[in-house]
Structure 1
Amino acid sequence: MSFPPARVVGRGASWYRGDCHVHSVHSDGELEPEELVVRARAAGLDFIATTEHNSAALPGVWGHLAADDFLIVLGEEVTTKTGHWLALGTDPGQVIDWNHQVRDGLIDQCLDQVHQVEGLCVAAHPHVPYPSGDFMFPFRGFDVVEVWNGLWTSDRPWNADNEAALAEWGRSLAADIRTGSWRPAMGNSDTHAEGQIGIPHTVVFAEELSTAAILAGIGSGRSWIAESADVDLSFTAHADRRVAGVGERLTARGEQVEVRAAVRGVSMGTVSFHSDQGEVRRAPLPRDGGVVRWDTTAEDSAFVRIEVRHPNGDVAALSNPIILT
């Protein structure tokens, strides 16, 4: 098989775990594609994206590694002089132009190359501390922001660069939701070596295990980010008998809204609730996880999102918002 199929059997409509920022020996990674897929499956992932620097996935390299329960999405890390971004869902053999920077005004043309094939453009690791890595492009035109990148976190899954990216994204949400132009958050490992893949990864609700469905789930914000497959999260908002999940809207004017976060796999951590008013509630988790609730209204909160943190303050999971109208 020259290139991986765009759809595999999967589990139908379900939550799928995946890592959309992965490098092999075909760019600057240390692992062969076969090793990456073995390790991805061992990490509990259902899909990965190939994102070699400034090059497409080579024919005959990835296709035979897909399986009925494992999807491989084609992509590229577009490595420019003023920031890196991910082109996800590119066509077989397609290379997105990388020779551009902020001052030449070519970014929109390059983003269009991805959007024309119904792919997603992701602002990658916007605050990494190396030349060309600091993201200088405006987020306008991008579909998603990678707020959690695992490459530069050393022996911890979270660092100050990710904290800055999360804060920047969180500050923009209120205004972006109000104008209908908000960008979901995602997390990826940026794997280059052994022991990195899936730390962190994005958990997305998709109608099927296909490139189109996975990208639709990520692009609509029906997703949350986990530090590993050991962490599980259910995040819902309830008004009367109506329920909305992450990335969805709940119409509840004049009604009480109960927001619930059910967490597993995080010991003695905390859950914080965030809205357009900032952080509005923080509560401890029981020793083995549990359910934390918060009451609000659509009049008081335009949206709610959550962060789950370990006792040392490192993030274990975080969600995209539920929008209240």
Structure 2
Amino acid sequence: MPGWFRGDSHVHTGRSEGAELTVEEAVDAARRSGLHFIATTEHNTVDGHTRLDRPRRRADGDPRPGGHHPNRALAGTGSRTGTTDRLEVRRTRRPARGRLDRVRAAGGLCVAAHPHAPYLRGQLGYPFELFDAVEVWNGRWTSSVAWQADNEAALAEWGRGLAAGVAAGRWLPAVGNSDAHLRGQLGSPQTVVLADELTTAAVLAGLRAGRSWIAASRDVELTLTASAGARVAGIGEVLNAEEAVVAASVRGVGSGCVSFHTEQGRIHSATLPPDGAAEVIWHVRASDAGFVRVEIRDGGGVMAAMTNPVQLRSSVG
């Protein structure tokens, strides 16, 4: 059944150097974080993925912990790529394109992970265009830890390429994941994807199409639509109309700020009430904007949620 499913597609277990989570702990943490799926992305091994292939059964026989599927892996490769097959993709000096094509041939999704991380080999040395998606949000949006990724830099780089990508007909979706290594990290942030059903293929198709948004936690809810009369387009979709009404509905970010972004940058904003629930409306012409995306930040300016774009195409002329 179609729906919005929450997941964390960048998770490390004890199979990765520096990680402490057991596979069982990762599954339990996913359930507590309200996730429907996770993906293991071990450091040069697919061993964690094989463990996730074995669903745990509850007393009532349901293999889905808590009624969800956090024990279903979407990936089992290095942190930059994902595939549903047990295909190992290791870092080498060879050009990346051939290795990424191997992942795609296996049905996987190639993600540029933490492109602006401060540690050794943490910064991406390839252009985003080689990939299928960009991990704009890696771990906490900001913190004092030494390994904190520069998510603002990743967002800015992705945003600069979005206008050209939309105009060219191939834009790269943004995703957000925890990159969990330690207990208490998994599920923050999480990507919320619209999929036809809760299967690996359907979730990957939704991520690939950009029908997704990113939340800091399960407590944040967000919808974004553009409409013209009876025609309505959502995140990752296209609205063919010259004049559109863009509506963002938000819950869970008290006294935060909603901002609308186009190829012209931040174009409109509104402050949320203390209870964090509101609908913000903005009117736009397709001749002035090829897309609209939304950011939600808390009162301190820290990202709480962000969307992929809704595309606008003029029906005039």
Shift of 1:151: 6.1
Shift of 1:86: 2.5
| 2:269 aligns with one of 282, 285, 290 | 282
In structure 2, what is the equivalent of residue 238 of structure 1?
227
Residues 205-250 of structure 1 show CA distances to partners (whole Å, capped at 9, x for unaligned) of 0000111000000010000000000000011111111110000000
Give yes or no for contact 2:49–2:73 (8 Å, CA) kept in 1.
no
Residues 146-191 of structure 1 show CA distances to partners (whole Å, capped at 9, x for unaligned) of 00000684479xx770011011111111111101121000000000
* Number of matched pairs: 299
1:313 aligns with 2:301: yes
In structure 2, what is the equivalent of residue 142 of structure 1?
131
Give yes or no for contact 1:54–1:77 (8 Å, CA) kept in 2.
yes
1:161 aligns with 2:150: yes
In structure 2, what is the equivalent of residue 3 of structure 1?
none
Q: TM (normalized to structure 2)?
A: 0.90
In structure 1, what is the equivalent of residue 120 of structure 2?
131
Q: Return the alpha-carbon distance in structure 1 between the equivalents of residues 136 and 49 of structure 2.
A: 31
Give yes or no for contact 2:42–2:48 (8 Å, CA) kept in 1.
no
What are the ranges of 5 or more consecutive residues in structure 2 without an aligned counterpart? 57-62
| 1:54 aligns with one of 27, 44, 52 | 44
Give yes or no for contact 1:57–1:74 (8 Å, CA) kept in 2.
no
Change (3 A) 1:151 1:230: closer
SS of match in other structure, 2:224: strand
Change (3 A) 1:174 1:51: same
Residues 92-122 of structure 1 show CA distances to partners (whole Å, capped at 9, x for unaligned) of x32123223xxx4x21110011010121000
Q: Which amino acid aligns with 1:324?
A: L
Q: Return the alpha-carbon distance in structure 2 between the equivalents of residues 309 and 290 of structure 1.
A: 14
Give yes or no for contact 2:7–2:191 (8 Å, CA) kept in 1.
yes
Give yes or no for contact 2:239–2:311 (8 Å, CA) kept in 1.
yes
Report the aligned-residue RMSD.
1.7
1:262 aligns with 2:261: no
In structure 2, what is the equivalent of residue 70 of structure 1?
69
Q: Which amino acid aligns with 1:261?
A: A
Shift of 1:140: 1.8
Q: Return the alpha-carbon distance in structure 1 between the equivalents of residues 149 and 34 of structure 2.
A: 27
What is the 5 A alignment of 1:1-325?
A: 12-28=1-17, 29-58=19-48, 61-65=51-55, 67-68=63-64, 69-71=68-70, 72-78=72-78, 85-91=79-85, 93-100=86-93, 104=94, 106-150=95-139, 153-154=142-143, 161-253=150-242, 256-288=243-275, 289-325=277-313
* Bigger mean CA offset, 49-58 vs 180-189: 49-58
Residues 275-308 of structure 1 show CA distances to partners (whole Å, capped at 9, x for unaligned) of 0111100111112221111100111110000000
Q: Return the alpha-carbon distance in structure 2 between the equivalents of residues 54 and 214 of structure 1.
A: 23
SS of match in other structure, 1:73: coil
Q: Return the alpha-carbon distance in structure 1 between the equivalents of residues 149 and 8 of structure 2.
A: 21
SS of match in other structure, 2:73: strand
Sequence identity percentage: 50
Q: Return the alpha-carbon distance in structure 2 between the equivalents of residues 190 and 60 of structure 1.
A: 19
Give yes or no for contact 1:76–1:96 (8 Å, CA) kept in 2.
no
Give yes or no for contact 2:53–2:73 (8 Å, CA) kept in 1.
no
Give yes or no for contact 1:75–1:86 (8 Å, CA) kept in 2.
no
Q: TM (normalized to structure 1)?
A: 0.88
Change (3 A) 1:59 1:229: closer
Shift of 1:141: 2.1
Q: Return the alpha-carbon distance in structure 2 between the equivalents of residues 257 and 152 of structure 1.
A: 31
Change (3 A) 1:59 1:128: closer
Q: Which amino acid aligns with 1:259?
A: V
SS of match in other structure, 2:250: strand
SS of match in other structure, 1:140: helix
* Bigger mean CA offset, 225-234 vs 20-29: 20-29
